[in-house]
Structure 1
C-alpha cells in the first residue's frame, strides 16, 4: 500500500450512511437474501470491532463484525468486507481484516466466522469449517463457511447453528 495514503479507523456512528451506500454499490439489492444478512437483521455490528478504510476523507472500504453464537459458543461474524472497485487489489481488504482480527483478539474474543471465498480469506488464516459442523440460516454453500481461531484450539468441539447472540440483539 505504498502508493496510497490509507488510514484504517474504527467505524464511527456517523459512517453508517456512507457504508450503506458502499454496500449498495458493491453488493447490490441481492445482499439482503444472504445468510449473513439474515443474522444482521437481529443484532448490530460492534462499532469498536468494525473498521473503515479512507484515503483522505474518501471512504474506500469497510469491514464489520457482529456477535453470534455457534451452538452455545460465542463468536464474531466478520462481514461484510468491501472495497470500492478502483481500490481493489491494493491490500485494502487485507488491512481491514487484519485490523479487525487483531482488535477482536485484544478484546478477548476467541473465534471469528465468515462466509466467503477460501482462496482469498485463507491468506489471513481463515480455514474451511468441516462439512456439517456449522449451519447457517437460509441458503449458503457450506464450503464457504470459514473460521479463524483467535486463540489456538478455540474451535475444538464447537458445532451447531450460527445465529445472533440474543443477549446482544436489538430491542423491538
Structure 2
C-alpha cells in the first residue's frame, strides 16, 4: 500500500486492509475518538451482526504498525426496493492526530476502492462541511431515511454512478454478509 505523509503534521502512515488482529486496537481507537455512545447511533443498527463489505475495511498504520485511523463500508439497500449502496462508518482517527490528513487519506482510499469494486453509491451520517469536500451532499437523501433517530441534514450521499439514487426512497436496509458469533466479536 502507498505510504502517505500528512502535510500538516509530518505523520507517516500506510493504509492497509483491516486484519482480524486489528480488532482490539481499532476498538480502543473508536472509544477514544467517538466516546461511549458510539454504539447507540442509527448507523450501528445497520452494522450490528454484519461484516463490512468485502475488501472495504481499512486501517491507517504508522511505521511501527500502530493503528492511527480506521474506516469501514457496509452493504445496504437504499430504501424500499432501492439500489445497492454502501454505508460508510465509522471513520475515526486517533484524537491526538486530528487534522493530520489521516482521515482525508482514509476517505479518499475508501471511495477509490468502492469505485474500483464497482459500487454505485456511498451513504453516511456526518458533518456536511467535512464530507462535502469528497463530493457528499444531502441532495440525494431527501426521500431516504435511517432506522432510528438521526439528524436529517447530516444524512449524505455520494453517487459513484450518476443518477443511481434517483427515485430511491424509504429506510436503509442492511444487506451485508451476516457474521457468525465469533466474527461478530472480531468485527465489533
TM range (shorter): over 0.9
Matched, 1:133 2:140: no
Equivalent residue in structure 1 for 2:59, among 28, 52, 58: 52
Query: 2-side partners of 1:131 and 1:155: how far apart?
Result: 8
Once the two structures are TM-superposed, the CA of residue 25 in structure 1 deviates from its matched residue by 1.3
C-alpha contact 2:42 2:148 (8 A) present in aligned 1: yes
Give the structure 2 partner of residue 11 of structure 1.
18
Counterpart of 1:170 in structure 2 is 179
Matched, 1:103 2:110: no
**How far is 1:169 from its partner?**
2.7
Aligned length: 171
Alpha-carbon separation, structure 2, partners of 1:58 and 1:31: 22
Query: Alpha carbon RMSD of aligned pairs, Å?
Result: 1.6
CA contact (8 A) 2:59 2:71 kept: yes
Instruction: In structure 1, list runs of 5 or more residues that go unmatched.
Output: none
Work out which of the residue numbers 72, 87, 93 in structure 2 matches 1:64: 72
Deviations 1:118-162 (A, max 9, x none): 000001110114564111111101111000111122222222111
Q: Give the structure 2 partner of residue 152 of structure 1.
A: 162
Residue segments in structure 2 that go unaligned for 5+ positions in a row: 1-5, 182-188
Return the alpha-carbon distance in structure 2 between the equivalents of residues 52 and 21 of structure 1: 13
More strand by percentage: 1
TM-score by length of 1: 0.92
